[in-house]
Amino acid sequence: MLKKFILAILLIGLLSACEKIAENNTVFEEQMFVMGTIVNVTLYGEEEKKSQKVFHNLLKDFKYMQAAWNPWKKGSLGRINSLLPHGEDFSIGPALKDIIVTSAELSEQSEGLFNPAIGQLIKLWQFNKDELPAGPPPSEAQIKNWLTQQASMTDLEVGELSLKTNNPAVILDFGAFAKGYAVDKAIEYLLLAGVENAIINAGGDLRAIGSKNGKPWVIGIRDPRADGVIAVAEIQGDESVFTSGDYERFYDYQGKRYHHILDPRTGYPAMETTSVTVLHKKAAVADAAATALFVAGPNDWTRIARKMGVDKVMLIDKQGKIYLTPEMQKRIRLQNEEKRDISVVSLDK
C-alpha cells in the first residue's frame, strides 16, 4: 500500500510543511496514518493557522470514521454486524444509514459485483485482519456453503433510523468503498471551510479540487506488473482517481496467488483483471466502480460501467491488454504506448 502511495504522488512532488511557491501563495502538507493507509492532505494558498486547524479537524474526522466503520472491532459497524444475525429491527444513526443506503444504491447499479454484504466471505479468506493471511484458502465446501446463502445488500431492510435483515449470512464490510466515501466527506469539509485548492491522497487513491498553483494536478497510475507508472493523468477542478489492483493485498500459497478482490458470484478472487482505474467527480463512486469493474472483467465491464454512470475507465487484463473508454483515452498519457496492446472500447450499447 505504501508503494502505491509513493508512486501516485511521484509526479505531484513531496512537499515540506510550508513551501513558498509564489508571492502570498503557500502550500501546506500533512500526512496521517488512518484507515490502514497513509493519507496525504495538501492545501494551496491558505494561511498557516487555518491550515493547521483544517488538518486537526480532518485527522479527528478520519479517526472517527476509522473507528465507526471497522466491521471487526467494537464500534458502530461492529455493533450492526453483531445485531444483524438476530433478524430483528434495531436502531442505527443517520451517518451509518447514509453509508448503507449509498453503498446499496451503488451495489444495485453494479449488479451486485460491488457487494458490501460479503463480510462473511472476506472473513473466510482472512482478509478481515490487518496482517496478510498466509493461507490456506477456504475449502471448496466452505465456499459452496457461503454461496448458498447469497448475502447481498438487497437483504437489508432500512427504515427511518432502523435496520434489519432476514439473512443471517449478511455481514457488512465497506472496505471496497469506505476510503472513497471518507475522501468525499473530507472534501466536503474543505469546501465548507473555504478551501479552494487541495488534494487528498489516500494510499494512492485521491480527489482534488481547484488546481496546483494554477496548473493541473499530475497523477501517476501504477503499473500492476512492473515498477513505476503505466500512465499519467491530469486533473483540474474537482475530480477523483481510484484504482483497484490485485497487487494491493495478496498472498501466495503452494505456488498460487490469492488477492483480496473477491467475486461474489464465485466466492473466489476475480482472476481475469489486474487493475482498473476510474476517474469520476465522486470518490465513493470511483472507488466502488473500480472494484465492480475489476470483478466484471474484460468481457462484462462496459455494461457495468454504463449502469454505474462512469465513462473514464482503464482496465488491464491478466495478459496485460489495456482497455480504455474514449473519454479515458483523452485524459491519460500511457507510458511506452507503442509497445502496449491497447483497445479503445465504446460504452454505447
Which pLDDT belongs to residue 25?
74
For 277-297, the pLDDT digits (tens) are 999 999 999 999 999 999 999
DSSP 8-state secondary structure symbol assigned to residue 86: G
Which residue has 445488500 as its cell numbers?
153
**Residue-by-residue DSSP string for 94-109:** HHHHHHHHHHHHHHHH
Contact 69, 76 (CB under 8 A): yes
Which pLDDT belongs to residue 118?
98
Which pLDDT belongs to residue 236?
81
Which pLDDT belongs to residue 21?
41
H/E segment holding residue 21: strand 18-22
C-alpha cell at 269: 478472487
Which pLDDT belongs to residue 13?
44
Total domain count for the chain? 2
**Residue-by-residue DSSP string for 113-159:** SS-TTBHHHHHHTTTTSSSPP--PPPPHHHHHHHHHH---GGGEEE-
For 208-264, the pLDDT digits (tens) are 999 998 899 999 999 999 999 999 999 989 999 999 999 999 999 999 999 999 999
Collect all residues with Cβ–Cβ distance below 8 Å to 150 and sequence separation of at least 6.
Answer: 167, 169
In terms of domains, do 280 and 302 share one? yes
Determine, yes or no, domain membership for 344: no
Of 115, 132, 165, which marks where a domain is finished? 165
Whether this prediction's pTM lies above 0.85 is answered by yes
Give which of 223, 320, 236, 217 is closest to 277, Cα–Cα.
Answer: 223
Query: Across-strand partners of 163?
Result: 90, 158
Determine, yes or no, domain membership for 348: no
In terms of domains, do 216 and 244 share one? yes
Determine, yes or no, domain membership for 347: no
Q: What is the mean pLDDT of each run of 10 residues along the chain (349 residues)?
A: 46 41 72 94 96 98 96 96 97 96 98 98 95 93 96 97 97 96 98 97 96 92 96 94 96 94 98 98 98 97 98 98 98 96 92
Of 138, 165, 192, which marks where a domain is finished? 165
What range defines the domain where residue 220 resides? Answer: 2-64+177-335
List the CATH number of the domain containing 99. Answer: 1.10.3980.10
C-alpha cell at 128: 478481515
In terms of domains, do 149 and 50 share one? no
In terms of domains, do 189 and 261 share one? yes
List the CATH number of the domain containing 245. Answer: 3.10.520.10
Euclidean distance between CA atoms 347 and 23, whole angstroms: 46
Contact 278, 313 (CB under 8 A): yes
In terms of domains, do 120 and 259 share one? no
